[in-house]
Structure 1
Amino acid sequence: MPLPDGFLWGGAMAANQVEGAWRAGGRGPAVTDVQTYKPHADPKEYAIHHVVTLDSIREAMSTDDTTYFPKRRGIDFYHRYPEDLALFAEMGFTVLRVSIAWTRLFPTGEETEPNEEGVAFYLGLFTEMRRLGIEPLVTLSHYDQPLALALKNNCWLDRSTIALFERFARTCFERFGHLVRRWLSFNEIDSITRHPFTSGGIVPETVEGDLVQAEYTALHHQFVASASVTRMLHEMWPDAEMGCMLTALTTYPNTCHPDDVAATQAKERMLYLCTDVQAAGAYPPLALRALERRGVTVPFAPGDVELLRAHTVDFISFSYYMSMTESVRPDAERTPGNTVLGVKNPYLESSEWGWQIDPVGLRITLIDLYDRYGKPLFIVENGLGMRDELTEDGRIHDPYRIDYFRRHFTEMIRAVDEGVDLRGYTSWAPIDLISASTSQISKRYGFIHVDLDDLGHGTGERRRKDSFWWYQKVIASNGADLG
C-alpha cells in the first residue's frame, strides 16, 4: 500500500556531530567538546568513550586540538551547509532534522541575551532549507549541554537549569518560529540514565549521594522543562507542534520461560517511562513503584504534576536501529546496541559494531507505540553504520546500506497499512558524520561520503554513494519503488 500524500522524507543529524567550528561565532564549549576519540580502542566497547572526569575535562579544555576531539571539527557543516543542503534537495528531501547548539546562542547557558552571530547562523540555515522546499524539524537539546553548567552545578541536576532552558527555547521560538513548524524538546531523553554527562551535563564524581537518584532527578527536571516549553510554543505559535523523542530499544524475551518474559516486561516499563510522562502526562504508578524500590524519589515541586498533565506533546518521535532480547541467565551472551548492551538474538544478523539488524522490529515498534499512545508518530533516526570503500574511480558501492533501508521501509509501510499514523521518516544520517558513541567517522551512515578519516585527514569533499540515487528514487515514488 502507498504511503499517504504529504508523507515527509529526509534525514537527521545533530549539531555536535556535523557543525564543527567549535570556537567560531562566539560559540561556547559543550559537553561533547571534551569527548575523545581513542584510535586503538575496540569500537564495540562503548563505555570507554564516555568515561568523563574532572581531570579529563580539564585536560581537554587545556588544548584546542581537534584531532582527538572530533566533534569539535565535525564535517564543517557550519561553513558548508549550502552545499550539503543542495545535495539533500537533489535527493528530494522534504524534511531535515537538525538541532540547535545551545552554546551557539548562549555560550555558557547563563547569558541574558543571545549571541547574535549564532542566531544569524541558524536563520541562514533555516531560510536556505525553506528556499529548497525542505521543512526543518528542529531538536532543542541534542547531547550538547553547556559545559559551563556541567562544571558549575551538574546542569540538569539543578532545577535552576529549567529557567535557563526556557530562555533558550523562547529565543529559538521568537527568532526562528516563522521558519520552523515542528520541534523536538530533548533527543533520546531516556538516555540520561545511560550516559548522564552527555544527556544531562552530570559529572558523576561530583555528585553527592547516589548517581541513580541524580539521574532521575535530572530527568524529572527535563520533563518539567519539556512541558513548559511545549506550553510556550503553543502560546507563541498555535499552529506549531512539539514532539518528544524516545530511544526505541525494542526488547523480546530471550526464551518463552516465564522469568524471561517477566524480566522483559519490567524492562519495557522503564523504557516507556519517558514517553508515558511526555505523551500521557503522568508518571505511571508501576514505574513510580519500581523507582521507589530502587531508593529513587522523584523531586516533584508544586505545580509539576499539573504542568505535565496539561502540556503533553503533539506527536511521538523515536530512533530505531536494532532490537535486543532479555534473559535472567547471568551467562547470556550480550552484544552492543544504541548505547546499551542487550542479550544477543540468535535469529538476527549483526553489524561490525555488534548492532543486531531487525527490520520487523521497526514494524513492531510502530504498532506498539501507536497502540499505546494513539498519537501521530515520526521516525527520526534509523540507519546502518558501516565501513565504506572508495573505488579507484571515486565511487562508493554500498548495497548493504540499500538492503538495510529497503527491508526497513518494507516493514514501515506494512505498519502504516495496518493503520499506524506515521507522518514522516528521517534517516540517520544523510551524510557521513562523527559517531555519537565512538567519535569515529569511519563508522559511516550517510548516502553522501565525506572525504575525512578518523583523525580529520582529507579534503572534506562530498561524494554521492550508490545509496544516494536509490533513496532519491524511493522518495520520488513515495516509497512505492523500493527496487
Structure 2
Amino acid sequence: MIKKSFPNNFLWGGAIAANQAEGGYNEGNKGLSVQDTVRYNKNLNRKDLSTVKKFSSETIKQALQEKDNLESYPKRRGIEFYKYYKEDIALFKEMGFKVFRLSIAWSRIFPNGDELEPNEEGLAFYDQVFDELQKQDIEPLVTISHFEMPLGLVEEYGGWQNRKLIEFYVRYAKVLFNRYKDKVKHWITFNEINAVNFTPFTSSGLVKDRIENYQQATFQAAHHQFVASALAVQEARKIISDVKIGCMIARFTTYPATPKPEDIMQMTHDDQYKNFFFTDVQVRGYYPSYMNRYFIENNITIEKVEGDNSILKKGTVDFVAFSYYMSMISSANPEHLEQTAGNLVGGIKNPYLEASDWGWQIDPIGLRYSLNQLYDRYQKPLFIVENGIGAIDKLEPNEEIHDSYRIDYFKKHIEQMREAIIDGVDLMGYTMWSPIDIISSGTSEMSKRYGFIYVDQNDDGSGTLKRYRKDSFYWYKKVIESNGEQLD
C-alpha cells in the first residue's frame, strides 16, 4: 500500500537550542559554556558576521574578562526563555504543537562539567519546563548536547579530543535519564555531530592555537563523541523502558557541478566525509571502509581503546535526525566557481536556486532527495529536526508581521516531505527551526529571524521582549490542524 499523506501520529512542532534562547547565563548556579564566549561584532557586515569559527585562547580570555557584558555576548541573554518559558510554551500549544525540541544546557547541570554531583537548581528548572509541556500536552524531544558544553571542559581538558570527556558526558546523560525518565521519551545524543569538521570550538571545544595537528584532533574528538553517544544509548535503554534515542547530523545535500565523472566522484566523497561517515558509525555501529583511505592519505590515526568497537556496535540509534536548510554543489575544480553562504559552511552557488537574505540556497526538492537517500541507506525512521529560513521581519505599527516569504518556504518544503512519504520514506516528525525568534547560531545577531513568533529585541539587546504572532503563526496552526493537508 502507498501512503498518501502524513501519518496520524506525525509529530509536528518546532525546535530551539538552550544557548540561543534561554539566557540566564549566570542564574541558578549555571556555569559558563562555550557559547558564552561567542562575541557579536556589530561592525561587520552581514556577509562577514559569522563569529563561530574564529576562536583562540585570546578570544576566550577576553570573554572571561567581560563576564557581565550582555550586549557583546548575545547568547548570554538569549530571548530569556529561562523566564518566559510558560508564555512561550502556551504559544506553541496555540499553534497545535505535538512535539517541542529543546536542548539542556550542560553547564546548568554540571557547571564545570567534571563535578561528581549535579546542580539541583538546573535540574529543577527543566522539571518545570517538562511539567509545563506535559500540562499543554506537548511531547519534549531533548538534545543532550547542542553546541553548549561547559567551558571548564575546554580550559581544563582541551575539549573532546580528551577521552575523559566520555566519562563526563555519560555521567551527565545518566543524570538526565534518571531524573526525567517519566517526562521525556525522545532524545538526541549530539546536535549536528558532523559539525566537528566545521565549527570545532562550539561543537567539540577545540581551540586551534592550542592544537598541533588540528585535523587529527577533530576526528579524535568525533570518535570520543561516537563512543559517548553509544554508551548513552545503552544507558537510556536500561533506565527508560520505552525510550527512542537518535543521532543527528547537519545534512549537506550535494549535487555534482557537471556530469563529468570527476565531479560525480567528488560528490560521492563529499557525501561520505561530510554526511555518511557520521551516520554510518551511529546507525550501523562500525567505521565504514571508505574512511580508511581518507585517514591514511591525511595522516590521521584514530586512537581507540579495547572495547570501543563493541560499544559502537551495541549502541546504535533508534532513529536518524537531521537538519536541512540548503543544498550544495560538488566540483573537482571549485576554484573558479562562484561561492555562497550556508549552514555551518559555504559552498559553490547553484544557478538554478534562489537564496535567502543570507545567501543560503533554497532547495525544497533537495529535502525529498535527502529523505529518500537516508531512508534507502538505513531503513530507520527519520526525523527532520531543523528546517527554516532566516529573514528580516518588520513589526508594523498595528503589531502585525507579514512574512509571506516564510510561509512560501515552509509550504514548498512540507510539500516535498509529503512526496517523500508517498515515495515510501518512514518520516516520524518535523520540528522546524525555530518557532520563535532567537539569537542566530552562526552570527549571534537578533536581526536574522526564523520564528513564527516575533520577539521585540534588537541586536544590542534593547527591546521589550514582548512576543507577537506573525502571519506564519496562523498558517502553521492550520497546517498542524489539517495534519499537513492545508498548505495554502
- Report if TM-score (shorter chain) is over 0.5: yes
**Match for residue 382 of structure 1?**
387
**Match for residue 224 of structure 1?**
227
Distance 1:452 1:96, change over 3 A: same
Structure 2: which amino acid aligns with 1:237? I
**Match for residue 159 of structure 1?**
163
Matches within 5 A, 1:431-450: 431-450=436-455
Asked whether the 8 Å contact 1:375–1:421 carries over to 2, the reply is yes
CA shift for structure 1 position 43: 2.5
Structure 2: which amino acid aligns with 1:136? P
CA shift for structure 1 position 40: 2.0
Structure 2: which amino acid aligns with 1:432? D
CA–CA separation in structure 1 for the residues paired with 2:253 and 2:47: 20
Asked if 1:126 corresponds to 2:130, the answer is: yes
CA–CA separation in structure 1 for the residues paired with 2:296 and 2:24: 44
Matches within 5 A, 1:291-440: 291-329=295-333, 330-440=335-445
Asked whether the 8 Å contact 2:50–2:443 carries over to 1, the reply is no
> Which among 265, 288, 293 is matched to residue 289 of structure 1?
293
**Match for residue 8 of structure 2?**
5
CA–CA separation in structure 1 for the residues paired with 2:22 and 2:322: 22
Which contiguous aligned blocks of 4+ residues in structure 1 show a shift greater than 4 angstroms? 46-49
- Partner SS, residue 304 of structure 2: coil
**Match for residue 236 of structure 2?**
233
Asked whether the 8 Å contact 2:439–2:445 carries over to 1, the reply is yes
CA–CA separation in structure 2 for the residues paired with 1:49 and 1:160: 25
CA–CA separation in structure 1 for the residues paired with 2:5 and 2:54: 46
Structure 1: which amino acid aligns with 2:484? G
CA–CA separation in structure 2 for the residues paired with 1:13 and 1:136: 11
C-alpha deviations, 1:157-181, integer Å up to 9, x for none? 1101100111100100011111000
- Partner SS, residue 318 of structure 1: strand
Asked if 1:475 corresponds to 2:484, the answer is: no
- Partner SS, residue 376 of structure 2: helix
**Match for residue 216 of structure 2?**
213
- With normalisation by structure 1, the TM-score equals 0.99
Structure 1: which amino acid aligns with 2:428? R
- Partner SS, residue 71 of structure 1: helix
**Match for residue 466 of structure 1?**
471
Percent identity, aligned pairs only, is 49
Give unmatched runs, 5+ long, in structure 2: none
CA RMSD of aligned residues (A): 0.9
CA–CA separation in structure 1 for the residues paired with 2:280 and 2:159: 24
C-alpha deviations, 1:15-49, integer Å up to 9, x for none? 00000000000000000001011112133236544
Matches within 5 A, 1:137-176: 137-176=141-180
Structure 2: which amino acid aligns with 1:466? D
Structure 2: which amino acid aligns with 1:316? V
Structure 1: which amino acid aligns with 2:225? Q
Asked whether the 8 Å contact 1:35–1:50 carries over to 2, the reply is no
> Which among 236, 243, 246 is matched to residue 243 of structure 1?
246
- Partner SS, residue 26 of structure 1: coil
CA shift for structure 1 position 349: 0.4
- Partner SS, residue 93 of structure 1: coil
Asked whether the 8 Å contact 1:151–1:203 carries over to 2, the reply is no
Give unmatched runs, 5+ long, in structure 1: none
**Match for residue 71 of structure 1?**
75
Structure 2: which amino acid aligns with 1:195? T
**Match for residue 38 of structure 2?**
35
CA shift for structure 1 position 374: 0.4
- Partner SS, residue 321 of structure 2: strand
Asked whether the 8 Å contact 2:108–2:122 carries over to 1, the reply is yes
